[in-house]
Structure 1
Amino acid sequence: MKRRSFIQKTALGSGAISLGGAMVYAKGHKLEAPHKFNLKYAPHLGMFKELAGEDPIDQINFMADQGFTAFEDNGMMKRDVALQTKMGETLAKRNMTMGVFVVDKGGNMANTLAAGKQEYLDIFLDGCRKAVEVAKRVNAKWMTVVPGGFERNLPIGVQNANVIEALRRGAEIFEPHGLVMVLEPLSDSPDLYLRTSEQTYLVCKGVDSPSCKILYDIYHMQKNEGHLIHNMELTWDEIAYIQIGDNPGRKEPTTGEINYKNVFKWIHEKGFDGVLGMEHGNSKQGKGGEQAVIDAYKQVDSFL
């Protein structure tokens, strides 16, 4: 959907475009002209469904109209091919960068690469091959990979070697296409193999490929290790993607303990031009809660 068509549809459906063209109304909610953010924050589907409606394409257009220049969709691989194609076309028309989607290997804890089992490796590599085709449709560059859980009956060094070897095989699939799997250390369970940025850094150095980098999720790393800026500095040369969520609660910035304005200022000063995925929930329900998310990002992005 072209921008002009979207604005016309919104105006007809809800009432008005202001005389100066600076504001539109979406489902009865007054919206300001697109904000110019300093970083590429990436919302996801469902984050603004009350304001934009249920249709995925309308939601993407709404994000663009607010000034967001990126988008991510963890579940992209499970979507219908026709919808993937349409989403990719819409992102291109709106000049939005496609962020991560998750490589389907059966779930975060499933088919652990640390076990060194051929059947688990085959599932992972099949997911990588399918991810290449999805990436082409939506013009994606980064795909999230979670290696799975610990294999407790094996020494940690053997587990490290198994994971590194498996990821090398995955990198061989992605490298010819210029794609990058980004490894995400998580806080969801102590049984997950990847838990800290320094451990993920070690794995990336072992894989030694431009197609294997770190996804630094600020919410998870605040929970697992803290010292956010210090640890990002230590591992910066392997960080290709960043995700956001305040702690506690995993909601939008300003709702928890993380000083996101300072963190974003530091990231901007590092010259980061990649995507920062908004992988969190909304702290409040309804249209007001969705507007609160937009307002929170304007607030923490005002670091210049």
Structure 2
Amino acid sequence: MPKFAANLSMLFTEIDFLDRFQAAAKAGFKGVEYLFPYAYDKQALAERLKENGLVQVLHNLPAGDWDAGERGIACHPGRVEEFRQGVARAIEYAQALGCPQLNCLAGKMPADADQATAHRTFVENLRHAAAELKKAGIRLVIEPINTFDIPGFFLSRTDQALAIIDEVGSDNLRVQYDIYHAQRMEGELGNTLARHLGSIGHIQLADNPGRNEPGTGEINYRWLLRHIDAIGYDGWIGCEYKPAGRTEDGLGWIQALA
């Protein structure tokens, strides 16, 4: 059976963030991920992980002003120094939390840059981040995100991510394959996962439409989860979905489908 990690930015949101660790453990999760740890003290987060027997699976590099609608700055030419400072801060948190990999959100296409400049900036930033993370024993992943949910997002398809990884030229860079985003942009989930498994560092899930629990939409998760197991993926699968009701009430999909 796959290893599922609760995404605490999406699940158990009816309670305080720091209390979600205990809620995830009580629900049977062994791992957690979430968008950002930076609003919290590193030691406080580490204590919640230890108290509840949880593994910190993933979090993101700093991604600009999230509340103002920014979704990453890695492709923004005028913010390279801010990006590099964020890499250093992310490493500090990841080391304190025992987190083995970090996700770099490319961001929306900047209004003041052309495609070629944004692409070059993204590649150079990834080279820097991948090298710095490698020194710290942490892997870097990049996530294609669908442009229906986030119009203008710079990185939106698996083939684009793979081409960028080749251009960066680091053995410390992989794809974060979000099944929901991939279904909206390209489909071909099973074949893509099998063909590019060696380049995939992390998987996330949600159903479509609605981004709710697996089993609520068009994706055949009963088949897909078995396929992921059969092709040899042994990493975590992050549960990054919007519960249709209370998180606990919708967790039956794990036993029903996995």
Scaled by the length of structure 2, the TM-score of the pair is 0.87
Q: Which amino acid aligns with 2:5?
A: A
Distance in 1, Cα, partners of 2:93 & 2:23: 23
CA distance in 2, matches of 1:293, 1:173: 39
Show the 5 A alignment for 1:225-244: 225-244=186-205
Q: Tell me, what secondary structure is at the counterpart of 2:203?
A: strand
What corresponds to 2:100 in structure 1? 141
Q: Per-residue CA shift, 1:36-70, capped at 9, x if unaligned?
A: xx1111113372466xx64735x434433443221
Rg (Cα) greater in structure: 1
Structure 2 equivalent of residue 297 of structure 1: 254
Distance 1:145 1:87 in 2: 24
For the pair 1:160 / 2:155, whether they are aligned, the reply is no
For 1:27-66, list aligned pairs within 5 A.
38-45=1-8, 47-48=11-12, 54=16, 56-57=18-19, 59-66=20-27
Cα pair 1:194 1:200 within 8 Å, conserved = yes
Question: Are 1:258 and 2:219 counterparts?
Answer: yes
Query: Identity of counterpart residues, as a percentage?
Result: 25
Q: 1:49 to 1:171 in 2, by over 3 A?
A: closer
- The answer on 1:182 being equivalent to 2:141 is yes
> What amino acid is aligned across from residue 199 of structure 1 in structure 2?
Q
Q: What is the aligned length?
A: 252
Q: Which moved more, 1:154-163 or 1:64-73?
A: 154-163
Residue number in structure 1 paired with 2:152? 191
Question: 2:59 — aligned with what?
Answer: 101
* Cα deviation, residue 72, structure 1: 0.8
Paired residue for 1:171, among 126, 130, 134? Answer: 130
Distance 2:123 2:73 in 1: 12
| Farther-moved stretch of structure 1 (189-198 vs 154-163) | 154-163
Q: 1:232 to 1:172 in 2, by over 3 A?
A: same
Q: Counterpart of 1:69?
A: 30
User: What SS does the aligned partner of 1:68 have?
Assistant: coil
Cα contact 1:142–1:182 (8 A) shared by 2: yes
CA contact (8 A) 1:87 1:138 kept: no
Instruction: Provide the rounded CA distance (Å) in 2 between the counterparts of 1:292 and 1:253.
Output: 13
- Which one has more relative contact order, counting CA pairs under 8 Å at least 6 apart? 2
The 1:47/1:150 distance shift into structure 2, 3 A limit, reads: closer
Contact 2:197 2:233 in 1 (8 A): no
Aligned mates of 2:72, 2:212 — CA distance in 1: 29
Q: Report the secondary structure of 2:232's partner residue.
A: coil
CA contact (8 A) 1:103 1:131 kept: yes
The letter for the 2-side match of 1:63 is A
Secondary structure, counterpart of 1:147 in structure 2: coil
Between the aligned partners of 1:298 and 1:162, the Cα distance in structure 2 is 44
* Structure 2 residue corresponding to 1:210, chosen from 163, 171, 175: 171
Question: Gapped runs of 5+ residues in structure 2?
Answer: none
Partner of 1:273: 234
Code of the residue aligned with 1:163 in structure 2: it is: F
Amino acid at match of 2:240: E
Q: Distance in 1 between matches of 2:72 and 2:210?
A: 29
